[in-house]
Homo-oligomer: A and B are copies of this chain.
Amino acid sequence: MSVLVVGSVALDTITTPFGKAKDILGGSATFSAVSASVFTPVDLVAVVGRDFPKKYINLLKNKGIDLTGLKKEKGKTFRWEGEYGWDFSNPKTIATDLNVFGKFDPIIPKAYRKNKIVFLANIDPEIQEKVLNQVDKPKIVACDTMNYWIETKRNQLLKLLKRVDICLVNEAEAKELVGETNLVKAGKKILKLGPPIVIIKKGEHGVLMFSQKHIFATPAYLLESVYDPTGAGDTFAGGFIGYLAKVKKYNQKSLREAVVYGSIMATFAVEDFSLRKLQKITAVDVRRRLNKFKKLTNF
């Protein structure tokens, strides 16, 4: 079963304590799509400018990602520049140039509209809703968001949350969204906003997943060298949704497994700049790390 991924494709300039990289491939849809592609075919909807390097197009193509929905517009590709300190938590944004992404008005190709699984990666919630309006009865709709939308488009985001099955947020976003410092209370409050499943990503501290009947908690796979955390959350989401598409089951068991697979995919993303490592990951690598993860957490 294929998945539809809609979000941003960007060129990032990133500084970490280990070095700086300029105009490298980034964007919420990029990480999500490449991560999901390890499990299942992916239909991508996004926009880039005329300056978008051919090598990055090839990278996506090589992952088997369908690019019918990747529009090339006149102008420059969306650019983000950020800097991380030693703690690798929240990056400092140095510059954001929306460029062609500022006018992103996604038209979902006809062949994509029948996708049963839709992932609305982090973009303006109004655009996320426009996408939803174009797809035929999807079975699972998941969305991500960020503090910027929580602060500037709260009402539009709340409207969207009533229409999705799964809401993915990080720890700070969860707390901000419902004004609650306790994460368990925050997760439960977000459930009340609409989505039957709420996933809170805690980075190196793992993931929590909430539903009416269950809570699931898992630690993260442990890494000795985090190189660049950009895209970790998007990669998690891609692995999560990709796994659900692969197993074609949607229950507590498959959701928990999907969280673990998503977590493992995210670890590959942070071990190098951009998608340098993630793009090379195969099902065999994932299986190997899953086995290590089981040994790490089993009691």
- Complex contact A181–B299 (CB within 8 A): no
Task: Specify which of B215, B257, B295 is in contact with A222 (CB 8 Å cutoff).
Answer: B215
Partner of A297, one of B217, B226, B257: B217
> Do A222 and B217 have beta carbons less than 8 Å apart?
yes
The complex places the Cα of A295 from the Cα of B296 at a distance, in Å, of 18
Contact with B along A209-232 (1 / 0, CB 8 A): 000001111111011111000000
- Copies of this protein chain in the complex: 2
Query: When each residue 181-220 of chain A gets 1 if its CB lies under 8 Å from chain B and 0 otherwise, what string results?
Result: 1111100100000000000001011101000001111111
Interface residues on A, range: 35 or more
In the bound complex, CA of A214 to CA of B295 (Å): 8
Partner of A206, one of B182, B214, B219, B295: B219
Is A44 among interface residues, defined by CB-CB distance under 8 A? Answer: no
Interface of A is mostly: mixed
Instruction: Verify B206–A206 contact, CB threshold 8 A.
Output: yes
Interface residues of A in 132-182 (CB under 8 A from B): 181-182
Interface status of A260 (Cβ within 8 A of chain B): yes
Chain A interface residues (CB < 8 Å from chain B): 86-87, 181-185, 188, 202, 204-206, 208, 214-220, 222-226, 253, 256-257, 259-260, 295-299
Query: Could you show 15 A-B contacts with beta carbons less than 8 Å apart?
Result: A86-B181, A87-B181, A182-B223, A182-B226, A184-B222, A184-B223, A184-B224, A206-B219, A214-B295, A215-B222, A216-B299, A218-B297, A253-B299, A256-B298, A257-B299
